[in-house]
Structures are given as structure tokens and as C-alpha cells.
Structure 1
Amino acid sequence: MQQVKSVITEFRGGHYDFGLEQAEWLKSTLMMENREREWRLRRPRFDIDSVETEKVYQQFAPKIWEELMGIQDGLKLSLEQILLNFGHYRVYAKESGCSVFTSDSYLVRNYDYHPATYDGRLTFFQPNDGGLATMAPVSRITGRMDGINEKGLTMGYNFMHRKKPGDGFVCYMVGRLILETCATVQDVVDLLQEIPHRSSFSYIVLDPSGTTKIIEITPRDVVVRDHHYCTNHFEVLTHENRRVLTDSEMRMQAMTEQVTDALAADQAFRVMNNTEAGIFSDKYSSWSGTIHTSCYFPKELKALFALGGNQSPVELDFGRWLSGHALDIKTIHGQIDSDITFASE
């Protein structure tokens, strides 16, 4: 059993300056060394086209492009290296897990992936040059794997498959675009129907009105459906599913049997985070172990968060931070049953 932590950071200001700040944080970690080693072990199966990538960012997220430029200036790296590590356009995805449930008042989710890809960082970001303020765990510095924004929109995603990838944004940048540019579930649907997608995922969203949708995405199709449960298989685009769905179906069954609208959020969180309930996963070496459990409250602008299983969650008050108050906590501690360290360590 390994003790792990996630550092909580905050930033109020412009995207370029946010990029510079993140570059300084990167210099204090082993993340860039670990990323270079990862690329040596796993050669990228995609091309970096800086002209095309900038064009797409200028269309959909020009301020995040400025953030990338801040990271570049701070780290003194080539544009190709910045886009390889932080651009998240045309990136090849490994298989992973994840389970999500939504009621009309909260979204609870297990984030399942490989510890060596996990930043160990959760950030509060309030831009003053455009875009919505967000609170979210960080993925590959510029991406977000779940979270909530100032409008109360909350989001999580689940991997489906890596067959026949296309040119487009990867999941954690799509998550960032959702949180920073969308106020309602309908905004998310409109965005996901417009942007290009690299791989096949389901995006699960909930807003303060109680509206919740699951958007099934491949590089070829976008389908919106009404449901409250999602693991790692499509319910509509079934022809796109992987052949072996046993683990996904087992977690779906365990979740539907134990997590319902009748449960209060803290009860649902405990079930999702319980290592014996059949939803939490310990398959870390197979890229599908549960690293964190999170629960977001759109109306209250709050969240519960825990690293590893059987943990007492930390409460994060995003609304209070938006009103100008300093954070009460700087680090979240937990433990996972793996000796694989986080990307920044």
C-alpha cells in the first residue's frame, strides 16, 4: 500500500500567466523527465502538425493556446515538444476504466487509470481574460478528467475503445473545453457535436437545473442519451464496443444495484469508494485502477474528493473560493494498492 497525495493549487489571472506558473511548477517536479522516458518506451503513434493544431485551438480555445505559449516560454522548449506533451490534439489513448453515476443534484465518479499518468494536482483556476472559472483534478498539465465550473456544470468521462482513431482532441482536453466554455448541458452537446475527436469516449454531464446527459462519442459519431449510469461500454453505439466487456458490465451491475437516487451523496460516495463493493478497481498495472473518487454538487458549487479506496473524502468549497476566500487545504492525502508512483514524483 502506497501513500499518495494531490497538491491543490490556485490561480487567478490570464491564461498566458497561468502557463508560466505551471512551467515553474513543472521545473520543481520529475514530470518532464518521466514524460521523456514514457515517450522512449512508447513511441507516439501520431504526427504533430503545429499549424493545424494552432488553427483548431484558435477556433475552439484560443485562450488555452495562450496558456500553451506561456508553458513554452517558461520551459524554453520547442513548439513540437509543447504540443507533444501538453497540446492533447491527435494523441493515442490507452485503455482505462471509470464509473459514473448522476442524480439530479450530484455527479459521483471513480477515475480509473494508470498511476504513472496521474499528475497529483487539483487546481482552482479563475481566468480574467475569457473562459469560465473551474475546479478540477489536472491531467497532463493542461487537461482535466472531471470537475465543475462557476456555472455549476459538472463533467466526467469514460473510455470506450481506441479503434480507428481520428484527428482531434483527446478526452482530457475535451474535458477542459467543456468546463471552461460551457454553462449548460445543451452547451456541452453543441460543443461535442462541433469539435473533432481523437478517440471514443462517453462524456457525462450535469448542470444545476438537474439536466443530465451521456454523450457517446467516436471520431465518426456523436449520440446523446438520457441515463444516469455509465462505465466503459456504449449503450447506443454498440457496434463500436470492444469485444470483451466483462469488467465494464460487472461494474455497471454493481453500481446499478447499490447506487440509486435514494442514496444521499455521501452514501453514494462511500459505495463508489468502497474497495469491496465491486465498483472500485485495483487493476493499476492494467491501466484501470481507481485513483480518485470525486463527487460534484452543481447547485452548491462544492465537491467531495478522495485518493484511493476506503477514504474519508475532503470537502472542497469552490463557491467560497470564487467569492475571494483563500483555500483551507493545500494537499489531499490517500493511499493506493500499488507501488507505481505518480507522474510528478
Structure 2
Amino acid sequence: MAAVRQQHKIFRAIEIGDGRDGRWASYARPLWQEMEGLLTDEGRTGRGADRVRTLFRTHMPELVPALDRLAGQLDRPGAEAFLTHAALRPFSRSCTQIGRPGSLLRNYDLPPEQCEGAIVSSCFLRPVIGMQDMLWGLLDGMNDAGLAVSLTWGGRSAYGPGFSILIVARYLLETCDTVDEAVDRLRSLPVAVPQNLTLVDPAKAVTVYVGPDIPPTTAPDACAANHQHLPVTDEQEQAMQTQERLHAIRAAGTDVAAMLRPPLYRTVDEQGSRTLYTAHYRPTEGRVTYYWPGESWQQSFGDFTPGSRTVAWDRAAPA
């Protein structure tokens, strides 16, 4: 017989401004001990730190002042190299997403303890709201121009020099107004791990496959699960149901209720991963709503409310 134990996750909404006044540092410093373990061995060396600093300054020059401010505020060995997101150990997320002009809907799946759960309102270069990860990267988000973006893992094990997709999402929202502008920027950004980005603005929605071994490639439609252009093996499908989820979201469209039901909503698996939240971005309205079964939390540029929500799940465990 299976016993049932409760699993909780606290989601917080915080404002950090441009990183100057210490609010970001107050959030980031307590997380540093667990974060620094994700820095690669190369990133811990002087030569490696110089390499990723140069990479960041070459490809994301607009964000260099913010990088310098945050590294100074964090004030820890290796902080600057970490914050470039170009010296992080590879990671993957199992997610599902769909875009329509003016609307972006996504489920984010991961073990709860591996998600920061921070909804952040920032203004490094412009107003941005999104679900933050790895201290200032973004899992999904929107900007004040009406552009929104979210990401999923591409399902392949390729790895190469480049940025984590989290800082790429941040960079696109900080510097681009439209989908076309963001897709054009992607052509010059090296990405370390295969990822799928879904981007929407008031007039357009696309999904783009990126990775260290492929050029940015536009998907057949503005939907993504956890595969790209290559056939999905039986083993991968059994483990992740990536094709099943993609078929389901194509059929459902931008229906929040469908995202809160299987197969799109995933209960805990053998690795402890589960759907942690559903996010519905309406960037033309400057609004995002986060959903859990029986609960929702709306934030917007006009009315961002700091606070916290505790989400509880029942999960079956061997007796």
C-alpha cells in the first residue's frame, strides 16, 4: 500500500529594480552556497573566468553594467563567472508550451527543490517580469514592449561552449521589442545545450530550436515539448511523453484548463519531477497569471504585488 506525504513549494514575488539597492543581493546571497556548486571547473579558474567574461561582453554588451553591479553586490569568489551563465554545468527541464499572437502559455516541470520559485519584477534595462532561475536568468517572462518568451529543454545530450538558455531569455527580453528582432538576435548567441524557445508579440508567435550543434531553426508551429528535429526514441517517449504532450497541446491550444490536466499536467515521476506551475502571459496587456490546481496568482506591470504563496501537493510514496 502507498503512503501519501505532502510536498510543498513556496513561490515568492519580489521586486529588485536595477540591482543597485540591495534587494537582489538580499535574495541571492542565501542561495549562493547551493548555486556555486553549479559552476564548472573551468569557470573556477582565472583563465576560465576571463574566457566567459569576454564571451559575455562580446555577445551581451548591453547587460555588462548589470552584470558588474550584481557581481559586486553578491561579492563572492566566482560570482561574476557564475552570473555570465557561460560556465554552468548542463541542466535540463521538461516543459510544454504554446504561443499565439499576444498569448504565451506554458507548464514548467522539475523537482520542486531544484526551482527557485521567484517571480521577479526587474528594471535592468527596461521593465521585465518573469520566473527567475540561477539568480537572474529567466525560465519565462515578458517585457514592457509586449514580447514574451519561455523555454523547454530540446531533449538531446549535445553540449558545447555558450550560454545557458536562462540568460538568453533574459537578454532577449531586455533588448528586443518584437519576435523578429529576438529571432535575429538568436542567430549570434552561442547556446550551450539544445533548447526550444517560444516567443510571442502582439502580431506573431514562433518556436525556435537552438543548440550548440545547430543554427537557430524555426519549428513547424509555435509549440514545444522536449524534442527538436530528430526522431524521438521509444525510450525517450516512455520517460518523457514529449510527443504525447506536444500532440495534446496542439489540440488544446491556449487553454489553461487543459494545462492543469494530464497528459500536460504531470504528477511526480521516478526522478521527483512534476509540473510546478502553469504560466499564462498576456504581454500586450502587461499581465501574467500563474496557476496551480485550484489556485492562481496574477501579476502585472501596473500592479506587481510582492508576497508569497505556498503550494502543496500530495504524492504517493512506498509505505
Name the TM-score, length of structure 2 as normaliser.
0.85
Would you say 1:33 and 2:38 are equivalent positions? no
Between 179-188 and 57-66, the greater mean CA deviation after superposition: 57-66
Q: Per the alignment, do residues 44 and 181 of structure 1 end up closer, same or farther by CA in structure 2, a change over 3 Å counting?
A: same
Question: Could you tell me how far apart the structure 1 residues matched to 2:66 and 2:96 are?
Answer: 30
Per the TM alignment, residue 137 of structure 1 is displaced from its structure 2 partner at its CA by 0.8
Aligned to 2:105: 108
Aligned to 2:195: 201
| Paired residues of 2:194 and 2:212 also in contact (CA < 8 A) | yes
Which residue type is aligned with residue 236 of structure 2? Answer: V
Q: Per the alignment, do residues 290 and 122 of structure 1 end up closer, same or farther by CA in structure 2, a change over 3 Å counting?
A: same
CA offset digits 1:293-343 (Å, max 9, x no partner): 10001221111113xx4132212122x14xxxxx3452233224469xxxx
Which residue type is aligned with residue 249 of structure 1? Answer: Q
1:305 to 290, 296, 299: 290
> What RMSD over aligned residues (CA atoms) do the two structures have, in Å?
2.6
Question: Could you tell me how far apart the structure 2 residues matched to 1:204 and 1:46 are?
Answer: 31
SS in 2 for 1:293: strand
Would you say 1:178 and 2:172 are equivalent positions? yes
SS in 2 for 1:145: strand
Aligned residues: 305
Between 63-72 and 99-108, the greater mean CA deviation after superposition: 63-72
| Paired residues of 2:16 and 2:24 also in contact (CA < 8 A) | no
| Paired residues of 2:53 and 2:81 also in contact (CA < 8 A) | no
**Structure 2 gap segments, 5+ residues each:** 1-5
Q: Per the alignment, do residues 134 and 288 of structure 1 end up closer, same or farther by CA in structure 2, a change over 3 Å counting?
A: same
Aligned to 1:342: none
Percent of pairs with identical residues: 18
| Paired residues of 1:147 and 1:154 also in contact (CA < 8 A) | yes
1:8 to 3, 7, 13: 13
1:215 to 200, 204, 208: 208
Which residue type is aligned with residue 61 of structure 2? Answer: P
Per the TM alignment, residue 213 of structure 1 is displaced from its structure 2 partner at its CA by 0.8
Question: Could you tell me how far apart the structure 2 residues matched to 1:287 and 1:173 are?
Answer: 25
Would you say 1:71 and 2:58 are equivalent positions? no
CA offset digits 1:129-166 (Å, max 9, x no partner): xx231000110111000011000101111101352311
SS in 2 for 1:92: coil
| Paired residues of 1:212 and 1:226 also in contact (CA < 8 A) | no
1:289 to 256, 259, 274: 274
Q: Per the alignment, do residues 207 and 43 of structure 1 end up closer, same or farther by CA in structure 2, a change over 3 Å counting?
A: closer
**Structure 1 gap segments, 5+ residues each:** 322-326, 340-345
Which structure has greater strand proportion? Answer: 2
2:137 to 127, 143, 150: 143
| Paired residues of 2:156 and 2:227 also in contact (CA < 8 A) | no
Mapping for residues 182-261 of structure 1, pairs under 5 Å: 182-209=176-203, 211-221=204-214, 222-234=216-228, 237-238=229-230, 244-246=236-238, 247-257=241-251, 259-260=252-253
Per the TM alignment, residue 207 of structure 1 is displaced from its structure 2 partner at its CA by 0.3
Q: Per the alignment, do residues 305 and 81 of structure 1 end up closer, same or farther by CA in structure 2, a change over 3 Å counting?
A: same
CA offset digits 1:47-67 (Å, max 9, x no partner): 452222222222333353333
Aligned to 1:22: 24
Q: Per the alignment, do residues 34 and 304 of structure 1 end up closer, same or farther by CA in structure 2, a change over 3 Å counting?
A: same
SS in 1 for 2:236: coil
Question: Could you tell me how far apart the structure 2 residues matched to 1:212 and 1:273 are?
Answer: 22
Would you say 1:333 and 2:310 are equivalent positions? yes
CA offset digits 1:186-223 (Å, max 9, x no partner): 111111111111010110000012x0111111212221
